[in-house]
């Protein structure tokens, strides 16, 4: 199982839970590094920059370089560049999205624009949503970094980016192109940037409907781990199965 060259790990529920590392994941990642494998971390969270996300992993004792982090923001910026070239973008989002778009050479505009991109924005406002809707109604391309309708914080489930993208869709009648998992764009971006082939890659994740689905869609092997959202017992409900399912990632090296 450990022969894959490039290991693409989901984060929450796979590598950590909330603010605590999952020890078996830490053990596997350390071993993979010793064996010379490439380790990548994939997150639908568009808010953090790779530096901020790497720092968060570091605080939990998980060594990670910013070049190993693939966010839905970086994937969105790369997708736009590949498909349409440099864009004038009206964005709703935080540091991670702004930085990714600018690094890819897109221009951030304050109204109109060829493309509207929405990522999670904890300072979202009526004015921002109205500008986004007007641009989309006016013909701008509509992209959402991810479609997660809700996410857990310390208070419970709170609105996610998909909820706000849904508001724009409801207003304009235009469906967004969704970039994050379960789409395969994040994996194709890792493959392209780091020059790895599909047969050399494996995805490791806890959530069938986002992680495993993304791996299946992209066409690579997948490892389900029973430390997060999808219980091993519930995998039978799905027609397509992961390559393997483990209780903890310790099973891959004990």
Residues near Mg ion (CB under 5 A) are 10, 12-13, 206-207, 228
Nearer to Mg ion, 10 or 114 (CB): 10
Least distance CB 144 / Mg ion (angstroms): 19
Locate 123 and state its tokens: 């300072």
What lies within 8 Å, CB to CB, of 140 at 6+ separation is 90, 112, 113, 114, 115, 116
Locate 208 and state its tokens: 């069938």
What lies within 8 Å, CB to CB, of 112 at 6+ separation is 88, 90, 135, 138, 140
Nearer to Mg ion, 22 or 92 (CB): 22
Question: How are beta strands 69-71 and 88-92 bridged, if at all?
Answer: unpaired
Least distance CB 151 / Mg ion (angstroms): 10
Helix (H, G, I), strand (E, B) or coil at 144: strand
Nearer to Mg ion, 161 or 207 (CB): 207
Residue nearest to Mg ion (CB): 13
Judged by phi (left if over 0) then psi (alpha if -120 to 50, else beta), residue 162 lies in alpha
Nearer to Mg ion, 53 or 207 (CB): 207
Least distance CB 104 / Mg ion (angstroms): 26
Nearer to Mg ion, 137 or 248 (CB): 248
Least distance CB 226 / Mg ion (angstroms): 12
Least distance CB 212 / Mg ion (angstroms): 10
Least distance CB 13 / Mg ion (angstroms): 3
Contact 167, 175 (CB under 8 A): no
Nearer to Mg ion, 9 or 164 (CB): 9
The CA distance from 201 to 162, in Å, is 28
Query: Half-sphere exposure of residue 99, counting CA atoms within 13 Å on the CB side?
Result: 12
């Amino acid at each position: 199982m450990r022969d894959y060259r490039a290991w693409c790990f989901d984060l929450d529920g796979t590598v950590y839970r909330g603010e605590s590392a999952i020890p078996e994941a830490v053990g596997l990642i350390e071993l993979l590094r010793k064996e010379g494998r490439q380790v990548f971390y994939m997150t639908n969270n568009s808010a953090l920059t790779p530096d901020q996300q790497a720092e968060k992993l570091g605080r939990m004792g998980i060594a990670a370089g910013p070049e190993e982090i693939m966010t839905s923001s970086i994937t969105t910026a790369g997708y736009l560049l590949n498909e349409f070239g440099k864009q004038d973008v009206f964005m709703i989002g935080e540091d991670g999205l702004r930085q990714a778009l600018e690094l890819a050479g897109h221009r951030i505009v304050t109204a109109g624009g060829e493309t509207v991109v929405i990522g999670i924005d904890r300072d979202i406002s009526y004015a921002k949503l109205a500008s986004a809707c007007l641009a989309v109604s006016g013909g701008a391309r509509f992209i959402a970094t991810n479609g997660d309708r809700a996410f857990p914080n310390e208070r419970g489930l709170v609105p996610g980016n998909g909820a706000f993208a849904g508001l724009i869709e409801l207003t304009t009648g235009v469906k967004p192109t969704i970039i994050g998992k379960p789409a395969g764009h994040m994996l194709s971006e890792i493959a392209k940037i780091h020059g790895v082939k599909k047969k050399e890659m494996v995805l490791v994740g806890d959530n069938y409907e986002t992680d495993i689905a993304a791996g299946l869609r992209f066409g690579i092997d997948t490892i389900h781990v029973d430390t997060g959202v999808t219980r091993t017992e519930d995998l039978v409900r799905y027609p397509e199965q992961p390559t393997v399912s483990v209780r903890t990632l310790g099973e891959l090296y004990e």
